[in-house]
């Protein structure tokens, strides 16, 4: 049998809450617990505790990453503005070339929102701006080499 990964899409509090209810019911009713593997209740309690702890730790770490200096925020905003302007110029330079716009200039690609994903999309846009075959069309719509250089400097 082929292994497949099951993906669940529901809030973590529901998982923890329902897990707690199942654990309490199995503990309160020996006739249910008797039908479970001998280590089931112990393992389930451990996993449930780990989920609670790891979820709190993850939220704490995410909260810490949200503290950026004004200079860092300014740099991110400047980067986002340049990428946005590059996309607008590409849309003018390559009308009706939806595949090129989506793949090379990441038009319509907005997720995930994390900084690393945004930077990766920015690298793709930058490479497309630097591609020799794209430069004439972009230049004809007002994009400059200085703007490409500015975006490149924001990537580092």
Number of domains composing the chain: 2
> Do residues 16 and 49 share a domain?
yes
Domain that holds residue 121: 70-154
> Do residues 123 and 144 share a domain?
yes
The 10s digit of each residue's pLDDT in 13-40 is 787 788 888 888 888 888 877 888 888 8
| pTM of the predicted model over 0.85 | no
d(CA 64, CA 58): 10
pLDDT of 14? 81
Structure token digits, residue 112: 């995930």
> Do residues 54 and 95 share a domain?
no
Angle at 108 between CA 102 and CA 111, to 5 degrees: 110
CA distances from 122 to 48, 86, 154 (A): 39, 10, 10
The 10s digit of each residue's pLDDT in 125-142 is 999 999 999 999 999 999
Q: Is residue 143 part of a domain?
A: yes
Q: Is residue 5 part of a domain?
A: no
Which one, of 145, 140, 152, 43, lies nearest residue 92 by Cα?
A: 140
Q: Is residue 120 part of a domain?
A: yes
The 10s digit of each residue's pLDDT in 67-123 is 677 888 888 899 999 999 999 999 999 999 999 999 999 999 988 888 888 999 999
């Amino acid at each position: 049998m082929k292994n497949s990964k099951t993906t669940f899409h529901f809030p973590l509090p529901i998982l923890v809450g329902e897990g707690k209810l199942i654990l309490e019911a199995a503990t309160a009713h020996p006739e249910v617990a008797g039908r479970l593997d001998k280590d089931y209740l112990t393992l389930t309690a451990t996993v449930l505790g780990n989920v609670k702890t790891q979820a709190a730790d993850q939220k704490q770490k995410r909260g810490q990453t949200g503290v950026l200096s004004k200079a860092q925020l300014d740099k991110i905003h400047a980067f986002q503005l340049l990428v946005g302007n590059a996309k607008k110029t590409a849309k003018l330079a390559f009308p009706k070339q939806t595949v090129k716009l989506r793949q090379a200039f990441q038009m319509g690609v907005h997720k995930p929102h994390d900084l690393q994903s945004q930077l990766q999309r920015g690298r793709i846009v930058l490479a497309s701006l630097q591609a020799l075959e794209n430069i004439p069309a972009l230049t004809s719509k007002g994009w400059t080499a200085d703007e490409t250089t500015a975006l490149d400097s924001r990537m580092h």
